[in-house]
Structure 1
Amino acid sequence: MTESGEPRRGRGRPRRDAVEDGPGARERILLAARSEFGERGYDRASVRGIAKRAKVDPSLVHHYFASKEGVFEAAMEVNIAPAMDIPQLFLADAQTDIGERLTRFVFGIWEHALTREPLLAMVRSAVNNETAAAIFRRMITRRVLKRVTPALSGPDAELRVELAVAQLVGTAMLRYLIKLEPVASADVDELIAQLAPVVQYHLTGTPPTPRTQNA
């Protein structure tokens, strides 16, 4: 007990006023975490730095997320979820043009500045830190592999989904993170036209149709 008669808080537990630190405290922490991880990367970011940005006690970060790993995973979930939230309609008819629809969906998110910047911030951390990479792998497994694989027919469905994801994520990293030319400045519709048949092949086993040159 404290001198005021209140129970003494244990190590790592926030003060009562910290837990009730105004409406939207959890959301402020996630927003601050996105900025902290984006600017400093996973290794250099800290719970104290996130708390300072969010204007909360560091114990409140631990209260909601337990650890730096926990707040990173939650921030990544918020920022990357839209890019992995594959419409159920795609999966209901997975054999029909899913390659083009999925490719267009993914690049539609990457092309939008409001969603691209948070994605890049999280992916940079995943590339440079094994803990962050493990979280990224878990998210891909949970949100993509376990959802798409059951919708496919034929053998090695999980491997085929991984290969399709590799095409999309790899091209996105070359275009938006590494900025390798000519991929970085190519017209997005041209990229989709080139990638979609390959993604379709991985997912359904349908060989890509050769593109004809205009006369």
Structure 2
Amino acid sequence: MPTSAPQPPARRRGGRRGGDADTRGDILRAAREHFAQGYEATSVRAVARAADVDPSLIVQFFGGKDGLFKAVLDEAVQPDEGVGRVLADDGGTDLGQRLAAYFFGMWEDPARRHPFQAMLVSAASNEAAATVLREFVRGEVIARIGAMIEGDDAELRAELAGSQLIGAALVRYVYRIPPLCDAPLSDVVGRVGRAVQSHLAG
């Protein structure tokens, strides 16, 4: 008795891909491009369309828009590989310089700059983005720095150091106010690094 020809596997509804090995990376790449246009202008559905996946897959992977935004920040800042590595190499008196060199090096990379830039701009007017920013900076940056220094005011000094870095980045890369936006990178790293070190040393 003749057998029927094998049928191709059914596609997902709408022809979208499932969660294969590259899907998470494709979602993050699409999200990075959308968040570069601003937090409020980005939606889970728009990112899903760009990544050719079902929106439910983004919820499954990241929990929603806030989780997706944090994942993009994690990818941009790389707290374990970047901040963690800088702090692990405990050089004491040059920690501020190394933090500044890493931080401004991140901003000099356009692929990493855009999501972080969008976060800082969006946090000024959007409470959801501000919440993600606070949790990310406190958990992934301030807490790590605070654990490396001593004193009753270690957390405050760590926050001051982080504020020094973020404030300088806002002026240089977001608002582009001269002369800071035109100053040589090495000069900015040196000056901000010394200020950061003064906070860390108390």
TM over 0.5: yes
State the number of aligned residues.
190
2:182 corresponds to:
185
User: By how many angstroms is 1:50 displaced?
Assistant: 1.0
Is the aligned partner of 1:99 residue 2:96? yes
Q: What pairs with 1:132-211 in structure 2 (closer than 5 Å)?
A: 132-205=129-202
Distance between the aligned counterparts of 1:43 and 1:36, measured in 2? Answer: 10
User: By how many angstroms is 1:87 displaced?
Assistant: 4.2
CA contact (8 A) 1:42 1:132 kept: yes
Structure 1 counterpart of 2:113, from 116, 137, 144: 116
Q: 1:181 is paired with a residue of what secondary structure?
A: coil
CA contact (8 A) 1:98 1:200 kept: yes
Letter in 2 for 1:146: A
Letter in 2 for 1:46: S
Structure 2 counterpart of 1:36, from 34, 37, 47: 34
Gaps of 5+ in 1: 1-13, 206-215
Letter in 2 for 1:100: Q
Question: Compared with structure 1, are the counterparts of its residues 18 and 65 closer, same or farther at alpha carbon in structure 2 (3 Å cutoff)?
Answer: farther
Question: Which of 81-90 and 27-36 deviates more?
Answer: 81-90
Structure 1 counterpart of 2:64, from 53, 63, 67: 67
CA contact (8 A) 2:97 2:194 kept: yes
Q: What pairs with 1:74-85 in structure 2 (closer than 5 Å)?
A: 74-81=71-78, 85=82
Distance between the aligned counterparts of 1:131 and 1:89, measured in 2? Answer: 29
2:9 corresponds to:
none
Q: Which whole-Å deviations, capped at 9, do the CAs of 1:37-93 have from their partners, x for residues lacking one? A: 212x22232111111111112222222223222222222222233598324454553
User: By how many angstroms is 1:128 displaced?
Assistant: 3.0
CA contact (8 A) 2:30 2:47 kept: yes
Q: 1:120 is paired with a residue of what secondary structure?
A: helix
CA contact (8 A) 1:94 1:152 kept: no
Question: Compared with structure 1, are the counterparts of its residues 83 and 64 closer, same or farther at alpha carbon in structure 2 (3 Å cutoff)?
Answer: closer
Letter in 2 for 1:75: V
Letter in 1 for 2:197: Q
Q: 1:184 is paired with a residue of what secondary structure?
A: helix
Q: Which whole-Å deviations, capped at 9, do the CAs of 1:13-39 have from their partners, x for residues lacking one? A: x97x96735431122112111112212
Q: Which whole-Å deviations, capped at 9, do the CAs of 1:80-126 have from their partners, x for residues lacking one? A: 33598324454553532212222122112222333223322333333
> Which consecutive segments of 4 or more residues in structure 1 shift more than 4 A?
none
Question: Compared with structure 1, are the counterparts of its residues 77 and 88 closer, same or farther at alpha carbon in structure 2 (3 Å cutoff)?
Answer: closer
User: By how many angstroms is 1:136 displaced?
Assistant: 1.3
User: By how many angstroms is 1:204 displaced?
Assistant: 0.8
- Provide the TM-score with structure 2 as the length reference: 0.82
Could you say what the CA RMSD is over the residues aligned between the two structures, in angstroms? Answer: 2.5
Gaps of 5+ in 2: 1-11
Distance between the aligned counterparts of 1:131 and 1:197, measured in 2? Answer: 33
Distance between the aligned counterparts of 1:21 and 1:198, measured in 2? Answer: 46
Distance between the aligned counterparts of 2:30 and 2:50, measured in 1? Answer: 5
